[in-house]
Structure 1
């Protein structure tokens, strides 16, 4: 059984149910692939082989006793921002290199309750701050499509692990595009749910009003299975919404593409820096949706120029507050031989945090300081409301909004983009987080270097089922989501 990694989540579940293979055999298969291939990709920070076999054997016992769920025994990789009891949780930072969480994040607990088998924790930009996965203390993850390119970020390890077939699906988090952009760079489907749809309990905070967990997988169908596990109210998270959860799998054909009104923001397709091939592939995918019966409607999103400056005031401000807890006193990295308390704070933080994290803490602290709070932070919050209203007005005339997920394909590792260049690369994704809306990336082709291109569909609040359904039907009519990088085709 050398090709188990080529099966979809549904095919894996059916194979387990029919006894074609056991969870232990499946887990062993993925662990062998990780051992052989991940040295090239560097997607995993921690591989939990021993715990995985224990969980797999428990899953097989449940299935033998007739107590298995549909997903019992299927392996998963967790972004290393979700706390995992007894397993190192680093958030890609030196400051948490020795941190072993005493509890599980709700997303991890839900996975265990569904019988999923944790293969390990995957790499990410430090504290989810970045778009390349190069800011990780544990080194840069490689893009399986081209090992000298980045997989995107911050959920780059999640994207690379799935794209290299080192896990059937993975959890990710999205604060300003950190699920959708790496999904675009690695040719995957990735869903950023409505803010409050997935619990943030046990998810290490970057910017609390923007962070949201979601699924990453090859197809909308695979994402729907993981969303059925992840979504739902959690009393431990004050921002978690008490709202009924859809059966995302059952609803995969619930939205008719025929007559679906897709908004095309003219500002998005005239952005300086939008690569011509990315634009062409996205327009080809929209033409395909039009052939399937969708109606393309040109719309205005007049606040486009405000996305980047608004986000890069609000997110760093929240980060400066959230990251003050990493002080070298209670847990995490502590400098050696501090001379006094102030020395302990200053050296623990300056030695423990990387450059990008320090940069954003400083920006955020400045924006929150007494002399600048009203001029910067309060004004950014007012503009944030205008951005939200801009979207709500658009949704009065359209069902979903289409855009590229990123203006380019994956960057080369070591491209040394300036902070401003990297921030402008998030132009298409930031507003979704500022407004709290759901959005999904779907692979729609390749550029001349055979690097994947992604289409982003943005929905109104709580429309995850609709987004998954539209992409699922697009994927029934196309095969971009089934394309595999050469390294993923390797057998072990």
Structure 2
């Protein structure tokens, strides 16, 4: 393994400062590695010329002793639903196949300002509508942990940010940006054995993130360690005049304590009983129990809590998702930008043919379902009721995080991220998109419904040699505590993605 891949972001940039490493050589090696691992299909577009230019500029800044900070010269990847000037943004769909945005999404602009080197855009399900990164015009993304890449016997990378997770897990970049609407960052992070953060809704700007569900979409972060995740979050978080949903108060950069300084004796951990569902695998349950025991042995108070509307959450999420999708997809009409059908017999025919050609069946089904649910005769029965239940779901979280006469407060919730290890593609593909998401998003989408932060961290390998992960959730804008606890767990379980992956590959 190349020495620099074993370094965290801070150690990498320290190597740049002392001259032991060069941003240009690291970028060149990353581009070469991405080319040699094309079988993963993690990237849909390589920004080779731009990456080399940015790396040269970074190297010159280090030579002149004017580094831009801890991300200067760090190789990153961006999910292909974030607008990037100079680089196509396709959403893995024919509808936007030739679209090159005239501007950068705020997240991308802030990473550029921090000196990060953009290697390319990563694969996703079309318009981020999926949980496996298998519904892309560029083909599916494969999980680097797969025992085989033959036929249909490979493991999915999760979704919809599977390309970003796969790229980070394979060591092709130090960090990647994903989006998270119902778990689309945490799910692939779990399956690929990396850290996946969904920040508080509004902490990171959505400007330039092509919308799926406006009320739940957030930019997500994928890295190989919690510390690296903090470095990226500090670069992209904070108010943005271009996004009215971002927080108003200035963002205070996080600084996590050293592991040996973390004291858990006053920490209160909640274990939601509703997450112990029938589909939960024995190995995930064992992993959940193991980490709960570790926390309790370190002095934390661990107790069972109830989030009573959890069972309804996946259904409410599905209704609201499809309603907002129907609204957001209406802009793709063949008139302003994106794919335009040749049939121009009438405006209606142009709209219909453009969408028939530009969208896959999953997208079209969600649009049709959303429009049905929003019909006047259905609006109150479905959409309005779903909004009311969503409020109850958010209140469930508020009750466990905020002390009252009837409830003891907890600081952190500990749950599975996914119900099992990464499934085989052939098993996953046998399910409908709706059933895929119902299983894959069960543990993750409630955090999006409530707008709270959540992080997935890898814990150990299953008996099949595949990553098993857990999820931590905290109250809104409490990323400091969330990631501090995540870092402590990370130090105890000692899961090293690249080293574990090497051992896994050697055993095959």
Asked whether the two chains share a fold, i.e. TM above 0.5, the reply is: yes
Matched, 1:288 2:294: yes
CA contact (8 A) 2:207 2:243 kept: yes
The aligned residue for residue 121 of structure 2 is 121
CA contact (8 A) 2:79 2:123 kept: yes
CA contact (8 A) 1:225 1:249 kept: no
Which of 341, 348, 351 is matched with 2:354 structurally? 348
Q: Larger deviation: 279-288 or 85-94?
A: 279-288
CA contact (8 A) 2:169 2:192 kept: yes
Secondary structure at 1:458's aligned position in 2? Answer: strand
Matched, 1:421 2:435: yes
Matched, 1:260 2:267: yes
The aligned residue for residue 62 of structure 1 is 61
Mapped partners of 2:335, 2:21: distance in 1:
48
Larger RCO: Structure 1 or Structure 2 (Cα < 8 Å, ≥ 6 residues apart)? 1
CA contact (8 A) 2:374 2:383 kept: yes
Matched, 1:467 2:462: no
The aligned residue for residue 158 of structure 1 is 164
- Measured against aligned partners, the alpha-carbon deviations of 1:325-357 in whole angstroms (never above 9, x if no partner) come to 111111111122332221111111011111111
Mapped partners of 1:204, 1:61: distance in 2:
34
Secondary structure at 2:107's aligned position in 1? Answer: helix
Secondary structure at 2:303's aligned position in 1? Answer: strand
Which of 471, 475, 478 is matched with 1:456 structurally? 471
**TM-score when normalising by structure 1:** 0.96
Q: 1:3 to 1:255 in 2, by over 3 A?
A: closer
The aligned residue for residue 247 of structure 1 is 253
Mapped partners of 1:456, 1:255: distance in 2:
19
Q: 1:176 to 1:331 in 2, by over 3 A?
A: same
Secondary structure at 2:12's aligned position in 1? Answer: helix
**TM-score when normalising by structure 2:** 0.93
CA contact (8 A) 1:189 1:481 kept: no
Matched, 1:403 2:415: yes
Secondary structure at 1:371's aligned position in 2? Answer: helix
Q: Any stretches of 5+ residues in structure 2 without a counterpart?
A: 403-408
Mapped partners of 2:5, 2:14: distance in 1:
14
The aligned residue for residue 244 of structure 2 is 238
Secondary structure at 1:29's aligned position in 2? Answer: helix
Q: Larger deviation: 19-28 or 288-297?
A: 288-297
Mapped partners of 1:488, 1:466: distance in 2:
32
Mapped partners of 1:70, 1:305: distance in 2:
42
Mapped partners of 2:468, 2:303: distance in 1:
22
CA contact (8 A) 2:92 2:136 kept: yes
Shift, 1:306, TM fit = 0.9
CA contact (8 A) 2:70 2:231 kept: no
Alignment of 1:137-286 (within 5 A): 137-146=137-146, 147=149, 148-250=154-256, 256-269=263-276, 271-286=277-292
- Measured against aligned partners, the alpha-carbon deviations of 1:114-142 in whole angstroms (never above 9, x if no partner) come to 00010000001111111000011111000
The aligned residue for residue 406 of structure 2 is none
- Measured against aligned partners, the alpha-carbon deviations of 1:205-231 in whole angstroms (never above 9, x if no partner) come to 000000000211011001001001111
Alignment of 1:321-470 (within 5 A): 321-396=327-402, 397-415=409-427, 416-425=430-439, 426-470=441-485
Shift, 1:202, TM fit = 0.4
Shift, 1:487, TM fit = 9.8
Shift, 1:88, TM fit = 0.4
Mapped partners of 2:239, 2:248: distance in 1:
5
CA contact (8 A) 2:305 2:400 kept: yes
Shift, 1:411, TM fit = 1.7
CA contact (8 A) 1:195 1:437 kept: yes
Mapped partners of 1:454, 1:43: distance in 2:
21
Shift, 1:102, TM fit = 0.6
Shift, 1:252, TM fit = 6.4
Shift, 1:66, TM fit = 2.0
Aligned-residue RMSD, C-alpha: 1.7
Shift, 1:80, TM fit = 0.7
Q: Larger deviation: 436-445 or 245-254?
A: 245-254
Q: Larger deviation: 49-58 or 4-13?
A: 4-13
Secondary structure at 1:408's aligned position in 2? Answer: coil
